[in-house]
């Protein structure tokens, strides 16, 4: 329904509708102070909310809030400065991590000032944050702001940015604002929302039953610290978010220091299953997940991401052997174990039967049917064509080379990555830190012995030959080893780059 142009704005004349919501409409207008934005209450029932916003802006709490210029005596409208710029998610599309962190820090200063004044914004989202032409953030729209002594009921906010406690009808708190800003930060970094669903109705429950993928999934190179800050702000449990805007501001001072976050490609369905298992465990359920597949397929990556998420939700790490002594009413625990560890299947099954709260993650080469039907069995799929294309863009290698590696290694993650890594101009064959401990041990043995029969080598390490070759895939792809004797033996190579680009006898 069209919004009628207001004619009773005192000295201001509306010229163009900027936006219209359920409570108010904002018009561009001319008047004695030049061009302004005039917010007009839509119906008498929305005048109290506009009055509250007028009262808050009159306090001059922060320069980061829009400046109040004039207001109707009956609180039917208010005139504000016209802020020119871009909404923050649009602004962030071409900005660096450093710029996004700086603007986020300034937003935290604005929130800290509001919270110190006993005011919760209540609707932090990209549409309420403008970055002006001086690259300063401005926080808009206090229409659903809540005072510290108030208690409200019913949902008020925006799906996708509202905290779980707000989705459940609770009163917004300062930590609810931090959740919203965490979702904004995620959007700015990843260029997509933390929770993305084709049906908007799903956003009413997804934040309560799942977890967002780490933003480095979409923006490789983010530091671990920055990613951790963002995901901590998005914690389901209000008590596990940072204590205040000022505290997050302190953390951001060092957010760009340190190592990059683990970049995980693809496996979105499997990661979602693990996220739901983590959430269930945090809520006191008993969950066991067997992550199986060949070495180098991404098992460790999946388990590491799930473990990080579990710790952020407060699960305490314990050893597998400690599970038998845990009572049903214990705090949720996290156990990560190799499937071949003694009694692993037996203890995991007892964990489920005993309904001990927590999550057991088992790392296996094969499925483990013996742990019971309630356990989740999942395996990482091979990399897809789109995953490898993204990998090529990130590593800045020839897309045709990436596709060739993808075909040659049938999407095996560590092998594809190894071949692309070996093609880089600065590839250092002496740096083995990224290889698994098993791969390093195999390489050391072959270098010491020279050409080694595959079956004999598998016997030496007490594994079957297929598993041995899976461990060797990254060594072959990077050119540390070469296949000889028609595929029956392995030997060290003197030219790893040449071997990585020549399939040889394999």
| Alpha carbon 243 to chain centroid, angstroms | 20
Q: Yes or no: is domain 268-378 CATH 1.10.357.10?
A: no
Helix (H, G, I), strand (E, B) or coil at 130: strand
Residues in the chain: 506
Helix (H, G, I), strand (E, B) or coil at 24: strand
What does each of the 506 residues of the chain score in pLDDT, given as a tens digit?
Answer: 678 899 899 999 999 999 998 889 999 999 998 999 999 999 999 999 999 999 999 999 999 999 999 999 999 999 999 999 999 999 999 999 999 999 999 999 999 999 999 999 999 999 999 999 999 999 999 989 999 878 887 788 899 999 999 999 999 999 999 999 999 999 999 999 999 888 888 999 999 999 999 999 999 999 999 999 999 999 999 999 999 999 999 999 999 999 999 889 889 999 999 999 999 999 999 999 999 999 999 999 999 999 999 999 999 999 888 877 776 777 899 999 999 888 899 999 999 998 999 999 999 999 999 898 999 999 999 999 999 999 999 999 999 999 999 999 999 999 999 999 999 999 998 999 889 899 999 999 999 999 999 999 999 999 989 889 999 999 999 999 999 988 899 999 865 444 444 444 44
C-alpha–C-alpha distance, residues 253 and 182, integer Å: 16
C-alpha–C-alpha distance, residues 86 and 92, integer Å: 9
- 13-81 folds as Phosphorylase Kinase; domain 1 (3.30.200)
- DSSP 8-state symbol, 223: B
Least Cα distance to 286 among 349, 233, 339 occurs for: 349
Q: What pLDDT shows up at residue 221?
A: 92
The partner residues of 151 in beta bridges, in order of sequence, read none
- The token duo for 129 is 């944050």
* Dihedral (CA of 406, 407, 411, 417) sign: negative
Q: Is 270 exposed, middle or buried (0-12, 13-18, 19+ CB in 10 A)?
A: buried
C-alpha–C-alpha distance, residues 176 and 166, integer Å: 7
Which residues, other chains included, contact 175 with Cβ-Cβ below 8 Å and sequence gap of 6+? 163, 238, 241, 242, 243
What CATH number was assigned to the domain covering residues 85-252? Answer: 1.10.510.10
C-alpha–C-alpha distance, residues 79 and 70, integer Å: 5
Q: What pLDDT shows up at residue 279?
A: 96
Domain spans in the chain, listed from the N-terminal domain onward: 13-81, 85-252, 268-378, 410-501
Least Cα distance to 388 among 409, 372, 369, 402 occurs for: 402
**CA-only gyration radius of the chain, Å:** 28
Q: What pLDDT shows up at residue 504?
A: 44
Determine how β-strand 34-41 pairs with β-strand 24-31: antiparallel
CB atoms within 10 A of CB 61: 17
Architecture of domain 410-501: Orthogonal Bundle (1.10)
C-alpha–C-alpha distance, residues 313 and 179, integer Å: 14
On whether the CB atoms of residues 392 and 398 are closer than 8 A, the answer is yes
- The token duo for 342 is 């003694």
Helical residues (DSSP H) of 337-384, grouped into ranges: 344-353
Q: What pLDDT shows up at residue 495?
A: 55
């Amino acid at each position: 329904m069209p919004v009628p142009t207001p004619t009773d704005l005192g000295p201001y004349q509306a010229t163009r509708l900027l936006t219209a919501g359920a409570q108010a409409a904002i018009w561009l207008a001319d008047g004695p102070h030049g061009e302004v934005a005039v917010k007009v209450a839509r119906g008498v029932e929305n005048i109290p909310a506009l009055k509250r916003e007028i009262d808050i802006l009159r306090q001059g709490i922060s320069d980061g809030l829009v400046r109040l210029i004039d207001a109707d005596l009956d609180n039917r409208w208010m005139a504000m400065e016209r802020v020119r710029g871009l909404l923050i998610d649009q602004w962030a599309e071409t900005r660096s991590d450093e710029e996004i962190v700086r603007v986020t820090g300034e937003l935290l200063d604005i929130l800290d000032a509001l919270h110190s004044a006993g005011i919760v914004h209540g609707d932090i989202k990209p549409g309420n944050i403008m970055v002006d032409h001086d690259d300063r953030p401005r926080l808009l729209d206090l229409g659903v702001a809540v005072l510290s002594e108030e208690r409200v009921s019913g949902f008020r906010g925006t799906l996708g940015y509202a905290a779980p406690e707000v989705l459940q009808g609770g009163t917004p708190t300062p930590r609810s604002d931090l959740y919203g800003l965490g979702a904004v930060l995620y959007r700015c970094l990843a260029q997509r929302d933390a929770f993305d669903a084709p049906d908007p109705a799903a956003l009413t429950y997804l934040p309560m039953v799942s977890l967002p993928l780490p933003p480095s999934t979409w923006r490789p190179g983010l530091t671990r610290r920055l990613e951790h800050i963002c995901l901590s702000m998005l914690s389901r449990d209000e008590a596990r978010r940072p204590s205040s805007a000022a505290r997050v501001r302190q953390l951001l001072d060092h957010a760009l220091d340190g190592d990059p976050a683990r970049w995980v490609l693809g496996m979105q369905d499997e990661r979602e299953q693990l996220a739901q298992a983590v959430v269930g465990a945090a809520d006191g359920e008993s969950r066991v997940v067997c992550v199986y597949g060949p070495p180098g397929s991404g098992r460790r990556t999946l388990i590491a991401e799930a473990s990080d998420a579990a710790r952020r939700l407060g699960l305490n790490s314990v050893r597998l052997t400690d599970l038998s002594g845990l009572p049903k009413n214990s705090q949720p625990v996290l156990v990560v174990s190799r499937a071949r560890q003694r009694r692993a299947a037996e203890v995991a099954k007892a964990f489920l039967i005993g309904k001990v709260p927590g999550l057991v993650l088992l790392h296996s080469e094969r499925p483990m049917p013996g742990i019971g039907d309630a356990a989740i069995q999942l395996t990482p799929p091979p990399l897809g064509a789109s995953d490898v294309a993204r990998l090529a863009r990130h590593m800045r290698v020839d897309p045709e080379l990436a596709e060739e590696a993808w075909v040659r290694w049938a999407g095996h993650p560590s092998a594809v990555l190894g071949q692309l890594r070996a093609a880089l101009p600065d590839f250092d064959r002496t740096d083995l830190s990224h290889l698994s401990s098993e791969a390093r041990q195999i390489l050391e043995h072959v270098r010491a012995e020279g050409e080694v029969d595959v079956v004999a080598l598998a016997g030496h390490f007490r594994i079957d030959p297929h598993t041995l070759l899976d461990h060797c895939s990254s060594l072959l792809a990077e050119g540390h080893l070469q296949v000889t004797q028609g595929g029956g033996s392995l030997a060290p190579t003197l030219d790893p780059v040449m071997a990585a680009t020549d399939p040889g006898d394999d």
